[in-house]
Structure 1
Amino acid sequence: MQNLSFQKKLLFSMAGLLLVALFLLSLLAGNLMQREVSQAMTSEMYSSLEQTRTTASQWVSAKVNVMRALATQLPAYPNGWEAWEERLTLGLDAGDFDLAYVGTPRGDMVQSQPPGELPAGYDPRTRPWYQAARAQQDLVITPPYVDAVTGDLVITMALPLAGEPDSILGADLLISGIVKDLLATQTRWTTQTWMLDQSGQVLAHPNQDRLQQNLSDLLPGVTLQSGIQTVEFEGSSWLLSSIEVPEAGWTFLLLIDATEVNAGLVGLTWQLLSLSLLVILVSCLVLYQLTHSLSKPLVSFQLQLKQISQTLDLSQRIDVRDQAELGDLAKQTNHLLERLSHIIQAIFRNADNLSESAGRLAHTAGLVNQNNNLQQQVSQSMAAAVEQMSSSVAEITSTMEELSASSTQIADHSQSVVDVANLTLDSSKKGAQAMQQLLHRMTEIQQDNAQSLDEIMQLGAKSKQISKVMDLINTLADQTKLIAFNAALEASSAGDSGKRFSVVASEIRRLADSVTDSTLEIEDRIQEIQDSISRLVITSEKGSGSIQSGMDVSAITAEDLNALVQAATKTSNAAQQISLSTKQQKTASSQVVIALRDIANASTHNAQSVRSITEISEEMVSMSAELNQLVHEFRLANHDTKISDRQDQ
């Protein structure tokens, strides 16, 4: 990483952070999708099974109520069977039975009209329905069986008469229609509904070849239990759930194709992965353009400064389009180059003067060694050389004063850098505070969403209360039908005088049937409303999960802003240290200027010590030549021609 460019470091850092964030969000979204699909499938299975059980229980309860009313109204051993036959026929119509009959302890079989054909020697006392009802002295419902003539499923209800317990009221009831309605359960996936009796034998199945088979043969090793379990059937995986109808001793199984459920989840997962890859590609392109635009001015600045440092051409200036911190740095650098150019020009002049002074000093020293008779002339020559050297020192002092002034300006600009760093620190703190406020607002949004979800749940509870009211209306309608039936029985007992009353009872019973049909339609609408509420709850929960994801991302961003505040704090401290160092350099430059001034003052008192610097003067000549050679390596505007002329001289 140390050998990479600034642009690549910035690009890799931001891309890595983006990949980590997208990976975490993808995992979270995948888990949420899997949970939501599972909850939706479970809710739909339980809702379908509960609706099936409610419908079956209400249907059986209505038939049982008709049987109990008919057993109460039938008299014990009438003088003729006509009274029983008439009431049995009325009960047949009221309960929508296939056949109604009474078996007596003497072996008589009285049937509703028209009667069914009985085999020769038929004795009801030998039939299982008669024996079971007489033994229990209560209503019994036989297991469903297939009618030998029609091939339909039939059950028999049997109940002792209220006035003659040894006489058993029986009724045959076709259940193929209600079973067909109960098995017509539909979900968004491939679904199968089975019907079992108490022994686990299949009574109804989409495939007629599976009828009368045992559940253990179709699903080996599977035991019915609460909840949802996965089973293997016909080479496919299915999700199985069951519910019992205790009034009839039936059990309904609901199977949903697990492959379709998993296929939907896999499809959503692939869509999420495709979206994540698209976001990564677009983000990488945006990040590349962003890092390129951010690093381009800095790279240009670096190349221009490198060109100046390699060529030592102080006439060049750094040109950047940025007007912010980098532009200010370029201005300061150009100002420094300008100051250095002036300083080098001064050094050019002072180096020539120093070279001439060193030459005269060496020449003067040579005169002293060659001719002692010219002592006075030599002294004057040496004094002039000392004065000239003092003048050179004064010029150097002036140059150092300019350098000190430059140091002062650098110190002032470093203080500006400190101010900018402090401003950056304050802006970072404000950004962190704004992110905290955003996180607080996200929390309020989550609370509002939770409140909306609670209100939706209350609406669902109200709809369930309406369902209970509709059940009460159904019960009242059934009771009305029983009252109408009893009224019809009483009207038939009254003979011709009760015919009008019988018509009124029939109209009341039709009205009760209409009320029952209307309440069933209302229950269907209420069930649709409850299903819509369930989907709305699932959607609200998804929205709550998305809000929670947004809160998590906001929290991570707040942590990053806090880290940025800490980095800005460190930058401010470093800028303050730099400012302190430049101030110390300013102080040191001032001390150097004072020292040079002292040297200039002391040079006037060193005229008598010139003879001791003969060897030093030779070295100064050599050093001045080297200084000229070094200084001539710099290229200055408006001074290159002068330097060339001096080199020729």
Structure 2
Amino acid sequence: MLRHFSIQRKLLFPIVFGLSIVLLCIGFLGVTFLHHLVQRHVEAEAMALIRQNATEITDFFVERSRVVQTFFHNPFFLDFFSRYAERGKPIQNSSEYQKVVEYFREILKADSTIESIFFATEATGEYFDEEGRYENPTYSAKTRAWWKNTLAQGRLYCARPDFDYADSTISSSMEMPIFFNGRFLGIGGIDILITTIGEQIQNMQYKGHGQAFLVDDQGHLIFFPGIPVEKSIQMPISALDEKSRGGAGFKELASEMQNKQEGMKEVQWKGETHEVLYSSISSDIPFIHWKLGILVPEHVISGPVKKVTILSIFTGLLALLSMLVLMGFIITRTVRPLDALANRLDTMANREADLTEELPVETEDVIGRTAGNFNQLIGRIRGILIRVVAYSRDLVERVGHLHQQSESIAEEAKGMAEQAKLVAGASAQIMKSVEKIGQSMGEVDLISKKLNEASIQGESLVGEQNQRMKALSQQVETMAKAKEHFKSISEEVAHAVEIIEDVSEQIRLLAINASIETVRAGKSGTAFSAVVEEIRRLSEHTAEVDQKIAKVIQRFQKELDTFFGEIESMRNRILSEFEFSEAVHSVFETALETVDTTVKVIGDIQTQTQEQATALEGIDKSLQDISKATQKIANGVHASFAELTEINKNMIELHQAVGTFKVE
């Protein structure tokens, strides 16, 4: 909306509008604060009036309570009634009784508001006042309601007021139980005329308006404007809500008075809105909790507040209007030259693109300095545009050359990409060949490893055979050594056989001799001939055994010679086989060393082949990357070529656009 306005209006409208909003908010807050401040002041002033009168009424009852406490604590009074215990006892001529009655009358003379002073005894139930003893045989104070109420209170308290129809006065009793040395004597009290309080309440007004009223602790009216005392004294305040009286809100007021010491409440009375302000008439001695209130027309409370509020609003609006007029005048005088400058700039910008024309500088204020600075700015822009024109021409030529070079680079990049693809293909074939070689070397390596394992196993078997041959050779050596031992044993056996042969021969000779001796002995040698015969048989048998042993020994020696001959032959063959095994073992060791060397060489070749394959893979990947990079370069060159074409087009358009400005 402000787009087509002048600078003056663009500045004036937002500032005035924003300032108006701010001032209105401040004014609203100020008026609201002032409204509440005045309202609190008025309410506080009215409440102060209520408190003052409530305090005066409270003091009135407190002063009378001192009379009660002083009178009924008199030692003479207490002593007299502590001894009085016979109902109807003749006491008219008793000086003490007359003194007590006179004491009652003196209290009445001292205070005109005290209507009566009385005492009822616990011992007899009789009633005494300033007139003396109440002479009625059937009367007993202990049956009266006020007696029971006072005992229930158990302290000095102010009873509900009563209306005396005889003299049209209102009085309230102040009563308390009387004790002496811990003994309950009776109940004493005074009747107070509160007509003066009613007069004070009738005269109480706030700024010439309002009507005061008094309510007891049970919510019953004592005094209320417009209602006769004889009617109001028994009426609860909530009864004022009757339509015939034009009242409303008194029931809520009664409930609030029971719960709060003081406050303010709006009610309707006689069809008009009133504000009720109330405060407590409260004391512990005597115990009293009444409420004093005043019924004030609502306009009396709100009138000053409304006047101050209206005056504040009028003053604020007048101040706002004055400030807006002043701000408009200042902004108009300040911004008017800027409107003229804006019109000149609009002409220069939209109608003629002539940068050689400058704005006229007519003043030396901020506006004039602004025009001069703008002329300097236009001069700098003109110089920049002159250089831009020259640079654009040169750039167009250079872009043309660059365009041609990019075409050549693109063709070369394309050729490089094709060559890179060919090299990558050859590299792939070489890599496949290397992979095949690697696979073959792997198979050779596997065979070499198996051969190495077989050589190791053969070497192990040959070594084991050598060990066995050595053990067998050692056994043969042992058997060869045993040959000599057997030979020695056979010789010893042969020697034993020879000895046996000698023994046998000796036995044979002995047998022959014995035979001869037997023959010589004749008959006496007959018994010995049997022994000789046995010796002869033994000799023969021994000879036979000896021959057999000799034959066995000869055969054994012969077999033993044959056996040891074969053992010797076997030993020679074993030695020959052992030498052959040693030669085979040496050959296996040489072969194993050769196989180990071959396996190592094959492993190195396989490792180098794998490294070559890895290197070829890297070369192939690099060639592929080079091919991709070359392709990207070619694509980039083509893209640059397209961009250079677009730049060339833009530079031509820029040159044409710059040419529209008149800079020289």
- TM-score, normalised on structure 1? 0.46
> Rg larger in 1 or in 2?
2
